[in-house]
Structure 1
Amino acid sequence: MPSSVESVPRADSSGPARPGPVPWIAMYHSVGDRSDDPYRVTVTPGRLERQLRWLRGRGLRGVSVAELLAARARGEGRGLVGLTFDDGYADFLTHALPLLARWDCTATLFVLPGRLGGVNAWDPLGPRKPLLTADGIRDAARAGVEIGSHGLTHVDLTRADDTVLGAETAGSRSTLQELTGATVAGFCYPYGTVDQRAVDAVRRAGYDYACAIDPGGLTGPFALPRVYVGQDDTAARLFLKYRLHRLRRRPVEGL
């Protein structure tokens, strides 16, 4: 099966990297019922639709991270923002995917191949939400969604020993590539926690980029910062988050 992921130029492949503005990448998780949402990881379908409508109304289009980075490398990234969905919840297919298609957007879905068809057992407070099966991940990929790795089982890589670190990075990539028949270019650090050791492991595993949350001095192609988007993010809040993102982050080499 040919890869549906647009090739991302590697940061070290074309001579000295020039500093560029950090891309705007939104971080979502679950889309569905949020009556019990202690970690604030869920937005309702109605809220997601209003947020996508806001993007499109401002002349912006949400795309996968691979597409965003490839477009920026060609000097064609204007008007594009990244959309990411962490953990691979089953409600992505039923609630998020139809809305993305309606608003002519794509996204990157970071999944956990070690928990196929399982639940979010890493969240002590629950509620338990079903995760995508192998077939569900393949369905998302066929719909044009970029599939990335969120590790095997959602562990904090900064606390993992060498064996676990290798399995969560290289092992999860190999498993996903076998599952989808496509190249897996992107990684997402569970919990957003990242250190230089984790970055090095992701790079060695063959990924082209990785997403974090707020990686500070590690910011770069293998530690991309993202903007949390939740249920309370109305048009006004999204506008502020969009405008402040670049003001808060200085240009970074390789971006």
Structure 2
Amino acid sequence: MSTPTTAARTPLRVRPVLMYHSISASTAPDPHRLRVHPDRLDRHLRRLRRLGLRGVGLTELLRAQERGEAGRLVALTFDDGYTDFLEHAAPLLQRHGMTATLYVVAGRMDGANDWDSGPRLPIMGADQVRAVAAAGHEVGSHTMTHARLAGADPATLTAEVTGSRRVLQDVLQAEVAGFCYPYGAYDTAAADAVAAAGYDNGCVIGDYSPGDRFTVPRCYVSPQDTAAHLVARMARHQLLQRGR
């Protein structure tokens, strides 16, 4: 495994990165608090527009930041690759002139979220993943099986990190630049594996240390978050980064 460059592992100050999962009007049990109603997402995107902000994928945000052009951008990310992204989130993003990163569990395409105890949610197949990319959204990897990578052995890291990138690049016939650690669980070996596999970046959840290019922190968005809550989360994100 190659060693990540010093620049890549230097702490960054990144614009807010928002984390969603399922976008659905379902009233089924939601024990893990993953489901945001489409109307609520619509209100979130409207508030971003009123603030003069535009949602983009995480890789686009990081590259704009390198050019000094990220001042009015926020990153929008959606984990797991649920089919409801195409049904509900993608039309809303298009309406508001925004894009996002969708992190797909590559080994569960055409399957479901069998890694948790909540309701079974369908995951996109290859054609749907290609449709997401064709609509202008970034597709990133969320491992092969939604494995917890902190403490994983080298063989598991290779299968989950490198293997998932290979699968998704074969589906898309394009580079897969972004990676997302399931459960936000990572350690130095996992972050090094993501960098060595050729990804441009990796993201976690609310962990601001080290906060480098392969451990970019994100703001979790809950099912009950109002537009005002969203603004507060973004403000807290900025304060936490200034305090590092």
Which category describes the TM-score, using the shorter chain as reference length? over 0.9
Corresponding residue number in structure 2 for 1:8 = none
Residue from 111, 116, 121 that aligns with 2:109: 116
1:245–1:128 CA distance, 2 compared to 1 (3 A):
same
Structure 2: 5+ residue stretches without partners: none
Q: CA deviation at 1:160?
A: 2.3
Corresponding residue number in structure 2 for 1:130 = 122
For residues 30 and 37 of structure 1, what CA distance do their matches in structure 2 show? Answer: 10
Deviation per residue, 1:12-61 (Å, 9 max, x gap): 49x79986523210000000034211100010111110000010011000
Question: 1:12-23, aligned counterparts within 5 Å?
Answer: 12=5, 20-23=12-15
Corresponding residue number in structure 2 for 1:156 = 148
Residue from 40, 43, 54 that aligns with 1:47: 40
RMSD, aligned CA: 1.9
8 Å CA contact 1:29–1:86 kept in 2: the answer is yes
1:248–1:78 CA distance, 2 compared to 1 (3 A):
same
Q: Percent identity?
A: 50
Establish whether residue 175 from structure 1 lines up as the match of residue 148 from structure 2. no
Q: Which amino acid aligns with 1:45?
A: P
8 Å CA contact 2:14–2:62 kept in 1: the answer is no
* Further displaced range: 226-235 or 97-106: 226-235
Establish whether residue 62 from structure 1 lines up as the match of residue 55 from structure 2. yes
Deviation per residue, 1:45-85 (Å, 9 max, x gap): 11110000010011000000111111111000011000000
For residues 144 and 82 of structure 2, what CA distance do their matches in structure 1 show? Answer: 14
8 Å CA contact 2:79–2:104 kept in 1: the answer is yes
Structure 1: 5+ residue stretches without partners: 1-10
Question: 1:51-90, aligned counterparts within 5 Å?
Answer: 51-90=44-83
Q: Which amino acid aligns with 1:209?
A: N
The TM-score normalised by the length of structure 2 is 0.93
The TM-score normalised by the length of structure 1 is 0.89
8 Å CA contact 1:20–1:251 kept in 2: the answer is no
